[in-house]
Amino acid sequence: MPNLLKLQKTFKFLLLSLFVMAITACTNNNDSKDQASVNPKKIKVDGRMDAELTSPPHVPPSTKDRSAKRLTVDMEILEEVGTMADGVDYVYWTFDGTVPGSFIRTKVGDEIEFHLKNHPDNKLPHNIDLHAVNGPGGGAVSSFVAPGREIVFSFKTLNPGLYVYHCATAPVGMHIANGMYGLILVEPEEGLAPVDKEYYIMQGDFYTKGDYGDPGLQAFDMEKAIDEDADYVVFNGKVGALTGENALDAEVGETVRLYVGNGGPNLISSFHVIGEIFDKVQLEGGSLVNENVQTTLIPAGGAAMIEFKIDAPGEYILVDHSIFRAFNKGALGQINATGKEQKDVYKGTIQEGIYLPEGGAIQEMPISDEEYAASKKPKDALTFDDKMEIGKKVYGQTCFACHQANGKGISGAFPPLANSDYLNADVERAISIVLHGKSGEIVVNGETYNSVMTSQNITDREVASVMTYIYNSWDNNETVVTEEQVKKHRR
């Protein structure tokens, strides 16, 4: 018994200590806010205005030196079918019809009047938790809204920074996994320093019943989500949102600021731009600035502001440097930088051999005769149209990550398939490379490449189809490849 009493006493003491610590922490917080040069709570609003919201990858104009306002934010929740990857559809739940949702740009001292509308065609109630809010649930408690209803709530922005917002309706993980997140920027009173280009990027992980690239409408998979076993890890809601014709652009000499968020729901992003060093990173979207950063960690439910000057022209690839996510699950983007060559900064080719060309299919290094045993091949002959359809899918799952959606490859790293003299010169050589892989120097359209292509572990039918698709796209010579032709190259 005495022991039990002692335990109880210790427990009470611990509780009391925690209580005191909590009180002290609260007091300190208030102190630091109150001691700021201008107390944001005391900033008076001067008139009213409507917030300009933008869809990713765009960012609204700077608040510059405007005074604090009563700022109306108008947002609509939409549940809609969208494209996850070529041939793969998904029912997204969104703020304003995009993943991530619209970018909100405010400044310290603004009083936000937030209008949240839940479209009458939607099936579920939703709400919003903005990490920029000081108040219960980040606004979630006050913003629960059923389909066909609108709710209005209000808060004052006190802390400058870049913040995630997301839906927080149960099951919270599912609402976030379906795309309900975005970013809200609170600029300091004087505004952020001006830059030449600003872009809005947000990473997210997705969980589907089928595997990566399985065609058709894919349902959300709760078990995979709980296991954190993502099928897709993407920027801006889908594979290819920032590549090919959706690539971002900039010019040599320009300073680019990226507002990068991570919606999660599960995975942490090791955000990296191949070929760039971040001159400045506002870590975690807060006030601490780090300089000369190669890769910055962006937690789920967190963000970072990244700045770099473009020093040389070319293609810069955005990745999550947990690199299988980039080349096998979709976490790839691209900035095309145009301008005059800067020989003093950069000459020669991009470093080779580090990022092996890989797609969604399982791949192996070049294989020996013995290693390849005859495998399952479907029998019926395919029509040209069948081949084009199958080929397009295989391309989207296997070839796209390196050779790009437009077949143009990546200069210095992955040779183009579009209008390719190397490809069109010799179909048998091309079949052999697809089956057995290739390393060493080749010259394509006058440019030398020295990378590795792994052998592709796909069926004769898939090889014939994807090669027919490639030869009949992008100004190539319209060769039709047959399964028999492929079979001859099997060893």
Interface ranges with Cu ion (CB under 5 A): 126, 167, 169, 175, 180
The full length of the chain comes to: 491
CB of 239 to Cu ion, least distance (A): 23
Identity of the residue, 77 or 281, whose beta carbon is nearer to Cu ion in the bound complex: 77
End-to-end CA distance of the chain: 80
Q: How far apart are CA 136 and CA 247, in angstroms?
A: 39
Give the up-direction half-sphere exposure of residue 348: CA atoms within 13 A in the CB hemisphere: 6
CB of 128 to Cu ion, least distance (A): 8
Identity of the residue, 126 or 387, whose beta carbon is nearer to Cu ion in the bound complex: 126
Identity of the residue, 144 or 422, whose beta carbon is nearer to Cu ion in the bound complex: 144
Identity of the residue, 125 or 191, whose beta carbon is nearer to Cu ion in the bound complex: 125
Identity of the residue, 172 or 442, whose beta carbon is nearer to Cu ion in the bound complex: 172
CB of 118 to Cu ion, least distance (A): 9
CB of 98 to Cu ion, least distance (A): 15
Neighbours of 326 (CB within 10 A): 24
CB of 101 to Cu ion, least distance (A): 11
CB of 175 to Cu ion, least distance (A): 3
CB of 61 to Cu ion, least distance (A): 29
Handedness of CA 129, 132, 137, 141 (dihedral sign): negative
Token couple for 152: 């209005």
Q: How far apart are CA 97 and CA 122, in angstroms?
A: 12
CB of 203 to Cu ion, least distance (A): 19
Q: Does residue 101 contact residue 180 with C-beta atoms inside 8 Å?
A: yes
| DSSP label at residue 382 | P
Identity of the residue, 237 or 437, whose beta carbon is nearer to Cu ion in the bound complex: 237
DSSP assignments along 302-360, one per residue: EEEEEEEE--S-EEEEEEESSHHHHHHS--EEEEEEES---TTT--SPPP-SSS----S
Identity of the residue, 169 or 262, whose beta carbon is nearer to Cu ion in the bound complex: 169
Which residues have C-beta within 8 Å of that of residue 175, sequence separation ≥ 6?
93, 126, 166, 167, 168, 169
Token couple for 336: 């095309």
CB of 80 to Cu ion, least distance (A): 13
Q: Does residue 174 contact residue 123 with C-beta atoms inside 8 Å?
A: no
Write down the residue that tokens 């080349």 correspond to: 327
Identity of the residue, 137 or 188, whose beta carbon is nearer to Cu ion in the bound complex: 137
Identity of the residue, 169 or 282, whose beta carbon is nearer to Cu ion in the bound complex: 169
CB of 331 to Cu ion, least distance (A): 24
Identity of the residue, 93 or 316, whose beta carbon is nearer to Cu ion in the bound complex: 93
Which helix (H) or strand (E) is 401 found in, with range?
A: helix 400-403
Token couple for 468: 């027919």
Identity of the residue, 166 or 408, whose beta carbon is nearer to Cu ion in the bound complex: 166
Cis before 194 (ω within 30): no
CB of 126 to Cu ion, least distance (A): 3
CB of 54 to Cu ion, least distance (A): 21
Identity of the residue, 129 or 315, whose beta carbon is nearer to Cu ion in the bound complex: 129
The edge-to-edge listing of strands for the beta sheet with 248-251 is 248-251, 332-338, 314-320, 269-274, 295-298
CB of 266 to Cu ion, least distance (A): 17
Q: How far apart are CA 96 and CA 337, in angstroms?
A: 30
Q: Does residue 266 contact residue 228 with C-beta atoms inside 8 Å?
A: yes
Identity of the residue, 166 or 325, whose beta carbon is nearer to Cu ion in the bound complex: 166
Q: Which segments within 96-179 are labelled E, that is strand?
A: 104-107, 111-118, 129-130, 149-156, 161-166
- Quick one: which of 461, 435, 458, 457 has its CA closest to 383? 461
DSSP assignments along 5-30, one per residue: HHHHHHHHHHHHHHHHHHHHHHHHHH
Give the phi and the psi of residue 3 in degrees, each rounded to 5: -60, -40
Q: Does residue 186 contact residue 163 with C-beta atoms inside 8 Å?
A: yes
